[in-house]
Structure 1
């Protein structure tokens, strides 16, 4: 069905202040001297005749541009759509410090009392989740159709706009934002803001929100963060050991020793984050183990707010977190950010890396720890081993074909001596040629992971980005299948040193986010294809100084990446003795649970709740849950093994479950079994 055209009301433009007037008023109200590009954002929103795109790096100050228009529209309201509830609360708190009333509306705060206050225009800023804004027949839909309410709206801002396409699959309300233009008068501009909009994501976002080039203002800054060092490391140890993170807490570290750098470790699995935090805690003295925490969406709002405060104050050394401590979280002095495993896409990775050193006077480090099978040298070695095995089989096949008795025996068994499948291995599943347990799945006949030619470089990366965008537009592979594979651009990042024309991790991000098209971009070391624009706006921003404005001046990175400055990353490596290969676990056949199995499961659930409360306190049980002691998968594995009488000692428990706390709590669990 053809949709009607968006509302075509003729916009009415109040008088727009000059840039100097905007700057003066902002300095008086917020105590901050806004940069030229921030003034241009505010000017575009105040003029109200065009939609706005704002692309700028993490920590550059995009949010200030959201609030400046409030100062010049008495009674006006700014509506900001944000993906994370924590961001909404953070924004409301920062506005309150400037004397501006704001409210964050999410599932917890969408109360009758709060909407009554909104109706009486008590709040000048409304920060809302897409689910609440686009809820069918919801409170916001009613107000967006009310001319009295919409007459007060200055603009609607979609913050972290890359989520429109990146998160649309599992948060469909993001795609429902397309209906905004069919509800709002055209006099209300829509702005999208992000630090990680690729060319493809930007095109999709503009189409989704019906933002037409003829009425569009684009303010674009580089997304580069020159005060962040970028590195990639190969995971050496077993994935579930987390031993590659041991360098964070040196052996024998004790209270009074120099503190580790304030750090964040990002995971794409909650249980991974919990397990890694517990591993690092064990490396601390008993009285210090609560200095490392985990942080995820399953925790209560009260707990998360408290933990953010502890982290900001330095009472917590580091967090093992998921996306919950991500976009927009403003902690200025994080020195080290780690992404554990190459399980995300490059824009998400850059968002996470951008949590480091938001204070520009500091230098931060960001590292991707990637699985070894994604590195070109490991791929080449694997391919070589495969060819050797095929060569051996071929020789054996030729030899056997000249020996009549073996061939006859093969025919008697209904097989042929030459029907061995290429790539098949006589080794047990999960074992490599050295006899060690491998973290990767058994080798398939056809590689499922993208394996580019090693000499691919800058031109190939740019072409690959365009090709990937075209493939997505033509339906392509289902989303579930794509998620199982390494993101194409992440492949280039991991193997940048082998790609002719790249040879730089930072350049991969520059190409992905088109930083050469951004105003104010200066060339980085060894990145000669990035161009200097004819007018660098940091000079326009502060004409009284020959070097221009220090805040928006983009300087070359003094330390670029581990390819150019490997010595800067030598202290970020772990040296932990590799444990002997774990004995194989039992294979558990399917079975019908007995009453005893249900009794054991209930007993284990009760035990882990009581233990969590006794060891960590009831508030941890309430906020984090009993998985802090024993995760659900371990509990179910114990029940399965107990059914088949596989666990009678602590060693059995450790072998069958790989439970990290088996030594500490194994005796109690055995008594329940």
Structure 2
């Protein structure tokens, strides 16, 4: 493709497959970086149009394949289905892919004229010898266009804990030195950006970052200790009241499977259309719940944090955290699943000093200190939005009165006893 005519041709492809008349801010720069063979780190808010940035490049050539690394099998399948909707040939290679299908994909790539434009896989499956062999062949004959690391914050957050395969993505640059790597995420502090770049061995990456401000989200924090008598039943009653006042669908996040089951059951008893979603459910049940929620036939999903990652549900109207997230990056990512259509929505966080103390005890390794940032957001007075943006390096946002939470005196005393930051009078 002639780089001089690049923008015009890219817009034509955009219109043909997605029906959009033009690009959003930073999209064109990100596409040009990949097409010019440059590594990139792209940070755009949830709903900012990241998927187009790795789906479009291979469409610029007759025979070109881009590999997309995703954290979850369900996310890969969802992406493949969405590619089919916009007439893009895509496939997935993962632990659930049959050997027959893997052989077919491998043969197709090795032939030198791949029929697929996108191959979705996971960090673990990317190490499969047959897939690696096929991709090396594609690189040598010029058919391999790029590697895209979706939800790239997982490199920093999961690689050092339960997904070591994320750290092994560092071998991509060793094995495919001439193939550009594009890392995409909605949340990354400067430290996380550095971790992503170093782990993936990005070479002078083009860094593109949009604003972290999700202006349509109203942020609320509800302190458990001062909700009536502070018991789980009192907090649950408060949640029921909130949900009954909402229009549209949403998510309630909880840490434990048992908590998901208990909360979902209580919501159902209160005539709220809800279902529990977690790894204890069968794959079939989880997929059914997810599809019902996306279609709008299910109102509320009570789930562990994996739910919602990459799911295309623009009209999610609320996200509730029954427990605080273990990091502010995680909270931003999860709460950002609401209001991707740009319409007003709400983020509610239930938190207590005991919650924060429990999270603090569980901190380990490179993530030490992350809970303190959550504590500052949840239990100290001030504009929640301003705190979030400041955490990600945006300093010029004005405080908003309706985003400020003021704690009662009993709560302040509990914070002092718990050893966390005691808020000053607002």
Q: Same fold (TM over 0.5)?
A: yes
SS at match of 2:403: coil
Aligned to 1:505: 384
Conservation of the 8 A alpha-carbon contact between 1:335 and 1:364: yes
- 1:125 corresponds to which residue? 118
Q: Is the 8 A contact 2:389 2:397 kept in 1?
A: no
**C-alpha separation between the residues in 2 aligned to 1:84 and 1:147?**
25
- Counterpart check, 1:364 vs 2:345: yes
2:173 to 177, 181, 206: 181
| Distance in 2, Cα, partners of 1:37 & 1:80 | 20
1:209–1:449: structure 2 CA closer, same or farther, 3 Å change rule? closer
Q: 1:487 to 1:88 in 2, by over 3 A?
A: same
Q: Which residue of 1 aligns with 2:232?
A: 241
Distance 1:495 1:189, change over 3 A: same
Shift of 1:271: 1.6
Structure 1 length-normalised TM: 0.55
Is 1:212 aligned to residue 207 of structure 2?
no
Structure possessing the higher relative contact order (Cα contacts under 8 Å, 6 or more residues apart)? 2
SS of residue paired to 2:147: strand
Question: Paired residue for 1:563?
Answer: 404
Correspondences of 1:505-584 after superposition (within 5 Å):
505-515=384-394, 524-526=397-399, 561-563=402-404
Q: Are the structure 2 counterparts of residues 513 and 481 from structure 1 closer, same or farther at C-alpha, using a change threshold of 3 Å?
A: closer
Name the counterpart of 2:24. 35
Aligned to 1:231: 220
In the alignment, structure 1 residue 271 sits paired with structure 2 residue 258: yes
1:246 CA displacement: 2.5
Q: Normalization by structure 2: what TM-score? A: 0.84
Shift of 1:560: 7.0
1:319 equivalent to 2:305? Answer no
Corresponding residue of 1:411: none
The 1-side partners of 2:239 and 2:259 are apart by 17
What secondary structure, in the 3-state scheme, does the structure 2 residue paired with 1:299 have?
coil
Q: CA RMSD in A?
A: 2.9
Larger-Rg structure: 1
Q: Using a 3 Å threshold, how does the CA distance of structure 1 residues 149 and 243 change in structure 2: closer, same or farther?
A: farther
Deviation at 1:489, TM superposition (A): 0.9
Task: Give the corresponding residue for 1:134.
Answer: 127
Kept in 2, the 8 Å contact 1:248–1:260? The answer is no
Compute the displacement of 1:242 (Å): 5.0
Query: How far apart are the structure 1 equivalents of 2:247 and 2:366?
Result: 39
Counterpart position of 1:58? 46
The secondary structure found in structure 2 opposite 1:164 is: helix
1:1-55, Cα deviation, whole Å (9 max, x unpaired): xxxxxxxxxxxxx63342133113311222013224111111111111x201101
Unaligned runs of 5+ residues in structure 1 are 1-13, 376-439, 442-447, 451-476, 498-502, 517-522, 527-558, 567-673
Structure 2: where are the runs of 5+ without partners? 109-113, 407-426
* Equivalenced residues, count: 396
2:264–2:302 Cα contact (<8 Å) kept: yes
Match of 1:91 among 50, 65, 79: 79
| Deviation beyond 6 Å, 4+ runs, structure 1 | 237-240, 480-483
